[in-house]
Amino acid sequence: MSFANDPLISLASAAAIANEITDNTLLNERDTSFVVYSFQKLNQTLQEVKNAFPSYWQHAVAIKTNPLAKVLEHISELNYGLEAASYEEVCLAKNAAAPFIIWDSPVKTKEEIETVLMLPSKLIINANSLEEFIALTKSPHENHIQIGLRINPEMKLSSMSSMTVGASGSKFGEPISNVQAIASTIQSLTRKVGLHVHASSQNMNLEESASAIKKVCDLAIAIGLKHISYIDIGGGFPVNYGFSACPEIKKYAQILEKECPMLFNQSVDVFTEFGRFYHANAGFHISKINEVKGFTNHQTIANHLGADMFLRESYQPGKWMHRFGIMNAQFQLKQGPSVETSIGGPLCFGGDYLVKNELLPKAAQDDYLIIMDTGANSFALWSMHCSRTFPKVIGIKSDGNPFILKERQNIEDIIRFWS
């Protein structure tokens, strides 16, 4: 099945894929829920980013949004780098043979730094503070390792507070108000270094995002470009979840070129670190409906996925919305009259709901729930609350053929985790 002309995988396409997966006997009775991930959709988005920006820009993909090993290997084979937010993710990137690794963790131990500095991989380490930056520049490292400093642009942004990392008081980066110390430190070095900025995620206001990057570009010019090797503009580009108009990545490039021309004239190397944008629309989840409680003008569904898989949706109700659908036991999409529906998960606490008062067709026991646009920040945030097993992941190859991307956990895995 091809999605070449579709910005989003439709509910009808998801149902057809689910039916094909069943026909290929990739599921068994334990698979009460499963994840589907399309490599074709991932490839399209990777190419979309590459086409939007100059050919000499280098693009890394944020591991934290989707850490599946085979996905990371696929990205690396296409010559995209990987961005790591922890030492453990550096190890995942190394195992995936990433052509380059960007390490942005806000917390790095001395032992982790010493180990990472010994890696033969092409590596960028962005320090989270001026103190860490000074220590890194004094550490012995080879030319294949570059050092940079994350800058907090200290801006008021319109993105939701949990996704804003560039406001005053943030734990991320060296405050840009400390400009004199930043400049004098970098100017005193004998080798070039980089500057990194990432202000927020899922911010629909592209001008705001560009303004944060412009502040760091202006800082680089004030320091002197003879001291600056690269600008890392981070990620955070918003994803289209199908509810309202979403900006295009090409428009973002146009705004950046206007506001930050130095990024487009090869004055410095430029790196990006998009994550959610690459993965979200490539995935969806399917879960069997365990039971339906009928009320007057309302139904409450209990299914096999909840706050274990969808932490943000459950703990920030109304902030992270998805398209939902109901299929019958034969994986045929239900139509018919809609009723207000609350979708509850399997966990034993009162906040375990994916959504409340969503208009959906009437459901029945052993129907299936479809949850769309879940390829990022869903299974990557998996919670062990109630010790449920991580579901099977079905990959859809670029040629449309399904395969088992990751097997379902078993009970022994859970016992071993807590032992």
* Rounded mean pLDDT for each run of 10 residues along the chain, 419 residues in total: 71 94 90 97 96 97 98 98 98 97 96 94 96 94 93 78 72 93 97 92 85 95 97 92 88 96 97 96 97 94 97 90 95 92 96 96 96 96 96 94 96 97
Query: Rounded to 5 degrees, what angle do the CA atoms 157, 160, 164 make?
Result: 55
Q: Coil, helix or strand for 262?
A: helix
Q: Give the per-residue pLDDT at 2.
A: 58
Architecture of domain 104-274: Alpha-Beta Barrel (3.20)
Q: Which two tokens stand for residue 191?
A: 């080798």
Q: Give the per-residue pLDDT at 357.
A: 94
Q: Which of 111, 68, 117, 75 is nearest to 89 (CA)?
A: 68
Q: Dihedral sign, CA of 156, 161, 167, 173?
A: negative
Neighbours of 408 (CB within 10 A): 18
**Cα–Cα dist 352/229, whole Å:** 47
284 - beta bridge partners? 36, 372
**Span 31-60, pLDDT tens digits:** 999 999 999 999 999 999 999 999 999 999
The beta-carbon contacts of 187-193 under 8 Å, at least 24 apart in sequence, are 187/223, 187/224, 187/227, 189/137, 189/227, 191/137, 192/226, 192/227, 192/228, 192/229, 193/133, 193/137, 193/146, 193/147, 193/148, 193/149, 193/227, 193/228, 193/229
- 407 within 8 A of 392, measured Cβ to Cβ: yes
**Cα–Cα dist 190/103, whole Å:** 22
Amino acid residing at 103: W
Neighbours of 92 (CB within 10 A): 19
* Strand segments (E) across 245-389: 269-272, 283-295, 298-303, 324-327, 338-344, 353-361, 368-372
Instruction: Give CA separation, 366 vs 114, 196, 249, 285, 287, in Å.
Output: 53, 49, 40, 16, 9
Indicate the DSSP class of residue 235.
Answer: -
Neighbours of 110 (CB within 10 A): 9
Extents of the domains making up the chain? 11-38+280-418, 104-274
Q: Give the per-residue pLDDT at 172.
A: 87
Q: Give the per-residue pLDDT at 199.
A: 80
Q: Which two tokens stand for residue 214?
A: 């412009």
Neighbours of 143 (CB within 10 A): 7
- 80 within 8 A of 47, measured Cβ to Cβ: no
Q: Give the per-residue pLDDT at 204.
A: 75
- 137 within 8 A of 159, measured Cβ to Cβ: no
Q: Which two tokens stand for residue 417?
A: 């985790």
Indicate the DSSP class of residue 200.
Answer: B
Q: Give the per-residue pLDDT at 1.
A: 58
Q: Name the H helices within 316-359.
A: none
Give 11-38+280-418's CATH code, choosing from 1.10.3720.10, 2.60.40.1180, 2.40.37.10, 3.40.630.10.
2.40.37.10
Q: Give the per-residue pLDDT at 408.
A: 97
Neighbours of 376 (CB within 10 A): 22
214 - beta bridge partners? none
Instruction: Give CA separation, 307 vs 43, 267, 290, 316, 414, in Å.
Output: 29, 46, 16, 11, 17
